[in-house]
Amino acid sequence: MVGFALSLLLGAALVAQDAATAADVTEPGRTLERPLEIVLAGRGAEATERTLIVIVDPSAGLAAAGFADAFERAVAQNARWLAKTRFGLGVLGHKGCVVLPPGAPAAAVVAEIKNRLAKPAAEFQNVYADLRGVAAAFSGESGAREILLVTLENGDLEDDLEQTAAALQKARVTVAVLTSEATLADSWWVSRSYQEKPRGTTLAGGDAPVIDLPWGWLFQVPIANEITPAGYAAYGLNRVAAATGGKVFLYANANQTAHVCGISAECLFCTGEHLPQHEGFRDALLRRMAPSTAPRTEACATLAHDPWFRLVVRAWLEAADEGLIRSTPSVKLVGTSAQPERQKNVRVLDLLSSASFARHAKRAEQAAEAAGKLGASVQSDLDRLEPGTGLQRCEAAAHLTRFMIQLSRVNLLTFAAWCREDAPRLFGKDAEDPALPEIPVVEGDRQPAGIGFTNLVLCHGVRPFLGVELPGGAALRPELEKLELLRLQFVARYGNTPFSFALHKAGIAEFHATFPGVTQPPPRRRPKSGEETGPTTPSRPERGRPTTGGTTGGPTSGGGR
Amino acid sequence: MLWAALAALPAVAQEDPAALVALLGSADAQTRVDAYNKLMRVRSVELMAQLAKVLPQLPLHGASLAVYLLDAYPWEASAPLWKKLAGQGSAFVRATAAAAQWRRGDKSQGAALAAAIAAASPEERTYVLGRLHGIDDQAVVAAVRGYVRPGAIDAVIGQALDLLVQSQKGRDAETIAAAEALIGAGGETEAIARAYLVAAGEGARHAAALAALLRDLPQLYQVTRFLERASRLEPVLIDAIAARLAAARTEYDLGRLVPLLQKHAPGQIEQALKHQLDNGDDKLRSAALKALAAVPGALDAKKLQEMLAADDPLLVLAAADTLRRMDDPAGIERVIGLTRKAGKHRPEAVRVLGGFRDARAVPPLLDAFADGDVQVRRAAVTGLQTILPDLFPYRRFDLERAGLRADAADAQRAEGLRLVRAWWDARK
Secondary structure of A456-473 as H, E, C letters: EECCCCCHHHHHCCCCCH
Decide if A85 contacts A144 (C-beta within 8 A).
no
The reply to whether residue B325 touches residue A436, judged by beta carbons under 8 angstroms, is no
The reply to whether residue A436 touches residue B402, judged by beta carbons under 8 angstroms, is yes
Please tell me the predicted confidence (pLDDT) of residue B310: 87
Please tell me the predicted confidence (pLDDT) of residue B255: 87
pLDDT in tens, chain B (428 residues): 444 444 444 443 447 888 899 999 999 999 999 999 889 887 788 888 899 999 999 999 999 999 999 988 888 888 989 998 888 889 999 999 999 999 889 999 999 999 999 999 999 999 999 999 889 899 999 999 999 999 999 999 999 999 998 876 556 789 999 999 999 999 999 999 999 999 888 888 999 999 999 998 988 999 999 998 887 788 999 999 999 999 998 888 988 998 898 888 877 888 888 778 777 777 788 788 877 776 666 777 887 898 899 888 988 998 899 899 999 999 999 999 999 999 999 999 999 999 999 999 999 999 999 999 999 999 999 999 999 999 999 999 999 999 999 999 999 999 999 999 999 999 87
Question: Alpha-carbon distance A512 to A530, whole Å?
Answer: 48
Q: Residue A526 — pLDDT band, cuts 50, 70, 90?
A: low
Mutate: best of B390, B404, B415, partner A, most A CBs <10 A: B390
Select the residue of A63, A254, A280 nearest B264 (Cβ to Cβ): A254
Give B285 to chain A, closest Cα distance, Å.
19
Give B267 to chain A, closest Cα distance, Å.
8
Strand stretches in A436-557, DSSP E: 438-439, 450-457, 507-514
Select the residue of A437, A440, A553 nearest B419 (Cβ to Cβ): A437
Decide if B110 contacts B86 (C-beta within 8 A).
no
ipTM field: 0.85
SS3 content of chain A, % helix, strand, coil (to 5): 40, 15, 45
Average pLDDT score, chain A? 87
Residue A346, pLDDT above cutoff 90: no
The reply to whether residue A276 touches residue B326, judged by beta carbons under 8 angstroms, is yes
The reply to whether residue A468 touches residue B392, judged by beta carbons under 8 angstroms, is yes
Of residues A225 and B170, more confidently modeled: A225
The model's pLDDT over A139-179, given as tens digits with 9 standing for 90+, comes to 888 899 999 999 998 889 999 999 999 999 999 999 999 99
Question: Alpha-carbon distance A423 to A271, whole Å?
Answer: 29
Work out how many CB contacts closer than 8 A connect A with B: 126
Cα A361 versus chain centre, distance? 33
The reply to whether residue B396 touches residue A439, judged by beta carbons under 8 angstroms, is yes
The reply to whether residue A31 touches residue B232, judged by beta carbons under 8 angstroms, is yes
Give B7 to chain A, closest Cα distance, Å.
36
Q: Residue A45 — pLDDT band, cuts 50, 70, 90?
A: confident
Q: Is A390 helix (H, G, I), strand (E, B) or coil?
A: coil
SS3 content of chain B, % helix, strand, coil (to 5): 70, 0, 30
The reply to whether residue B393 touches residue A470, judged by beta carbons under 8 angstroms, is yes
Mutate: best of B394, B399, B405, partner A, most A CBs <10 A: B394
The partner residues of A333 in beta bridges, in order of sequence, read: A338
The reply to whether residue A66 touches residue B231, judged by beta carbons under 8 angstroms, is yes
Pick from A222, A218, A229: nearest CA to A266: A222
Mutate: best of A271, A275, A487, A518, partner B, most B CBs <10 A: A275
The sign one gets for the Cα dihedral B226, B228, B233, B237 is: positive
The reply to whether residue B394 touches residue A275, judged by beta carbons under 8 angstroms, is no
Question: Alpha-carbon distance A519 to A374, whole Å?
Answer: 42
Q: Residue A52 — pLDDT band, cuts 50, 70, 90?
A: very high
Question: Alpha-carbon distance B265 to B242, whole Å?
Answer: 9
Decide if A186 contacts A207 (C-beta within 8 A).
yes
**Span between the terminal Cα atoms of chain A, in Å:** 51
Q: Are strands A157-158 and A85-91 parallel, antiparallel or unpaired?
A: unpaired
Q: Which residues in B lie closer than 8 A to residue A257 (C-beta atoms)?
A: 263
> Going by C-beta distance under 8 Å and a sequence separation of 6 or more, which residues neighbour residue A245?
A174
Residue A272, pLDDT above cutoff 60: yes
Select the residue of B326, B359, B397 nearest A438 (Cβ to Cβ): B397
